[in-house]
Amino acid sequence: MKTRVILDLLKLPLPRERAKSVRDIDYDRLIDLGYDTILFDYDNTLAVWRSEFDARNREVIEKLLERGLKVAVVTNAPFERVRNMHEFFGDRVKLYYSMRKPGTRELLKVLKELESTPERAVIVGDLFLTDVIAGNRMGMYTIMVKPVMNKDAAFYKKVSAFMTIAAYTVFFYTIGWFFRITELISPHLFADDISDIDFEQLKEAGYELMILDFDNTLEPWGSDELSNERELLIRRIQLIGMKVVIISNGKRKRLRGVDAFIQGVDVIPEARKPFPYKTRRYLSKRGIKTYHTVIIGDQLFTDILMGNLLGCFTIKVNPISEQEFFWTRLMRKLEKLLLKFIKNKTVLEEMKR
């Protein structure tokens, strides 16, 4: 129990996502995931440290407001620092100052006033020791951006920005990398078998595409055809209005029969998972967003890792058989070790899509 508490504390400075600036964040994805509240830090996030609001970020906030999102500034700085925001947005953007991050007491008051909850809120900031820790403590979606800087900034401001980036880099490559890896191989959901998954609920949650691994997910390792049982399962998924594609690291020659076995299902062999480029290219051609996609597989370091790199919803199932490549058997031992540090990211009933 104490070990779990310590590990959770060490994970607090890790953001869920990183971006170059507030202008580079995929807000469409966040909205589609169900987030309706965006909290921005001010210094080095919306403005250069101790400077006025960076007008380049005005369009971002205006678009969020137009789409009906709740937008607020939450800063540890005094009110005088953020007063100029009124010139751009009036009362449409709430300004909260002296927030005492990484403390959460004031942030809880903010969400209460905005009539929001941590599960529906995103916090964006440049400091992992304040913005990210506060957001993670509360259960918000945390995004860390690089400190805002311009060519004419004073030397001490450039040094401050550099030190911020350097501090996070040191943390990440000494402690944080382990937790980042465990995050990337953590499925959103565990299931004993693919037949146990509630595909109807996934459809209701807004997902459009099911990406299925083949070996030891649909069929035992080394198979070259689909059983009648699995064919019926895929037909059921299609009947509820979802597309299905099978993506495997298996050879094209072996999976050729599967490709011709069932209509309306694409088979992508030699996918080279966990590298996501073949899957990303397929999704791009079909015009399907990654956050409308579910990836189901039996291996953490191929299927789940690839899915999380893409930003898909990932489900891990137990392997059908013990027969596998020698390398895969070795990775299974590592999986068993890391599973002690892995928890479900969410449960299906709590999805907000």
Omega within 30 of 0 (cis) for the link into 274: yes
- In CATH terms, the fold of domain 2-184 is Rossmann fold (3.40.50)
* Residues 74-129: tens digit of each pLDDT: 999 999 999 999 889 999 999 999 999 999 999 999 999 999 999 999 999 998 88
Please state the separation of Cα 8 from the chain's center in Å. Answer: 18
What percent of the chain is modeled with pLDDT above 90? Answer: 60
Name the residue among 98, 78, 94 with its Cα closest to residue 86. 94
Q: Do domains 2-184 and 189-350 have the same CATH topology?
A: yes
- In CATH terms, the fold of domain 189-350 is Rossmann fold (3.40.50)
For residues 246 and 255, what is the distance between their CA atoms, to the nearest angstrom?
Answer: 10
The predicted structure's pLDDT at residue 156: 56
The predicted structure's pLDDT at residue 327: 67
Cβ neighbours for 154, distance < 8 A, ≥ 6 positions apart: none
* Residues 237-258: tens digit of each pLDDT: 999 999 999 999 988 888 877 7
Q: Where are the domains of the chain?
A: 2-184, 189-350
One digit per residue, the tens of pLDDT, for the chain of length 353 reads 555 566 667 778 889 999 999 999 999 999 988 899 999 999 989 998 778 888 899 999 999 999 999 999 999 999 999 999 988 999 999 999 999 999 999 999 999 999 999 999 999 999 888 999 999 999 999 999 998 766 555 565 556 666 766 776 777 767 767 777 888 888 999 999 999 999 999 999 889 999 999 999 999 988 888 888 999 999 999 999 999 999 999 888 888 777 666 778 999 999 999 999 999 999 999 999 998 999 999 999 999 999 999 989 999 999 998 776 666 767 777 777 777 766 545 444 344 44
For residues 99 and 50, what is the distance between their CA atoms, to the nearest angstrom?
Answer: 16
Task: Check the CA dihedral 18-179-43-112 and report its sign.
Answer: positive
Cβ neighbours for 301, distance < 8 A, ≥ 6 positions apart: 185, 274, 331, 334, 335
Q: What is the rounded average pLDDT for all residues in the chain?
A: 86
Cβ neighbours for 253, distance < 8 A, ≥ 6 positions apart: none
* Residues 47-76: tens digit of each pLDDT: 987 788 888 999 999 999 999 999 999 999
- Per this entry, what is the length of the chain? 353
3-state secondary structure 170-202: HHHHHHHHHHHHHHHCCCCEEECCHHHCCHHHH
Residue type, 44: N
